[in-house]
Amino acid sequence: MKIEGAITALVTPMRDGQIDYDALAALVEWQIAEGIDGIVSVGTTGESATLSVPEHVLVIRHTVKAARKRVPVIAGAGANSTAEALELTQASEEAGADALLHVTPYYNRPTQEGLYRHFEAIAKSTRLPVVLYNVPSRTCCDLLPETVERLARLDNIVGIKDATGSLPRATEILARCGDRLTVLSGDDGTCFPLYAVGARGVISVVSNIVPGRMAAMWDAAAAGDWARAREMHFAVRALGNLLFVESSPAPTKAALALMVRTTPDVRLPLVPVTEGLLERLRAQLKAEGLV
């Protein structure tokens, strides 16, 4: 199974404080129909930080059921405690996930050796492919290229979601790891240039709103049609920027609500977007023919 292409970091739909499993199934169906190559369930965009462990596992299970093996479901299973990450790994495997996404431990700021041992323990605990996730802006923890290179020698560590937003960083990982590790952009704004240096896909927020366009960008790049890929890169730029004006995923859920696909509900400490941003999103969606 290949973990590559345009992969959506899917929101977790909510209604009146509870997870809306019917809306979740509908979102999965729409994403697949639009040509998306995979789904991340309960990643950062899926509000992993505010879901209980039972909810976390249920969302993965329902996503797997809705996907019906048509695309891989990558379960967000990360934690800043290795013991908790191992528990979520086992639960995700039992829920039927096809692969795992493991973020660097946040807040406690482990050393590079600590990071290596954390991910090594996870890899040894599961039969599933593991995708590393490095997002220093959120975790205050940076997984350096030399540590990624060490981890790439472990059989089932197959990829990294690089959300540093740094082209030199991704290039360094590609140079060190070659075909042993799939590099995925974790940042919509840099996926096109990362494709040009050898990244094999993106774990995308903006594809929650325009899955077909993000899939088309990857398909064009994979086919060597760089003019078309560049065109799609610029086509999603304005919308992608708006989705991060306020704390994600509130703007994404607001846009989906305007498209009548889910509610704008998020859980505290996240709050719905301001009226000003809502109007900007409405105008952008209207300009793009999405509402």
CA distance 276 to 282: 10
Cβ atoms within 10 A of the Cβ of 24, count? 24
pTM here?
0.97
For 5-223, give the CATH class: alpha beta
CA angle centred on 255, ends 287 and 36, rounded to 5°: 90
Q: Which two tokens stand for residue 273?
A: 């977007």
Q: Which amino acid appears at position 139 of this protein? A: T
Q: Which two tokens stand for residue 203?
A: 């774990």
Per-residue pLDDT of the chain (291 residues; tens, 9 = 90+): 789 999 999 999 999 999 999 999 999 999 999 999 999 999 999 999 999 999 999 999 999 999 999 999 999 999 999 999 999 999 999 999 999 999 999 999 999 999 999 999 999 999 999 999 999 999 999 999 999 999 999 999 999 999 999 999 999 999 999 999 999 999 999 999 999 999 999 999 999 999 999 999 999 999 999 999 999 999 999 999 999 999 999 999 999 999 999 999 999 999 999 999 999 999 999 999 999
Fill in the DSSP letter of residue 168: H
Provide the pLDDT for residue 2.
84
Element (H, E) at 285: helix 275-287
Provide the pLDDT for residue 9.
98
Provide the pLDDT for residue 134.
98
Is-contact 37 201, C-beta < 8 A?
Answer: yes
Helix (H, G, I), strand (E, B) or coil at 12: coil
Provide the pLDDT for residue 165.
92
What region, left, alpha or beta, does residue 165 occupy, with left being phi > 0 and alpha being psi -120 to 50 degrees?
A: left
Is-contact 144 151, C-beta < 8 A?
Answer: no
Helix (H, G, I), strand (E, B) or coil at 88: helix
C-alpha 32 chain-centroid distance: 15
Cβ atoms within 10 A of the Cβ of 280, count? 16
Contact residues for 179 (Cβ-Cβ < 8 A; gap 6+):
none
Provide the pLDDT for residue 1.
74
C-alpha 48 chain-centroid distance: 11
CA distance 120 to 201: 24
CA distance 69 to 84: 27
Provide the pLDDT for residue 123.
98
Q: Which two tokens stand for residue 193?
A: 């240039």
Per-domain boundaries in the chain = 5-223
Q: Which amino acid appears at position 265 of this protein? A: D
Label residue 277 exposed, middle or buried (CB < 10 Å: 0-12, 13-18, 19+): middle
Nearest CA-CA partner of 135 in 155, 164, 160? 164
Q: Which positions are catalytic?
A: 133, 161
CA angle centred on 289, ends 284 and 291, rounded to 5°: 80
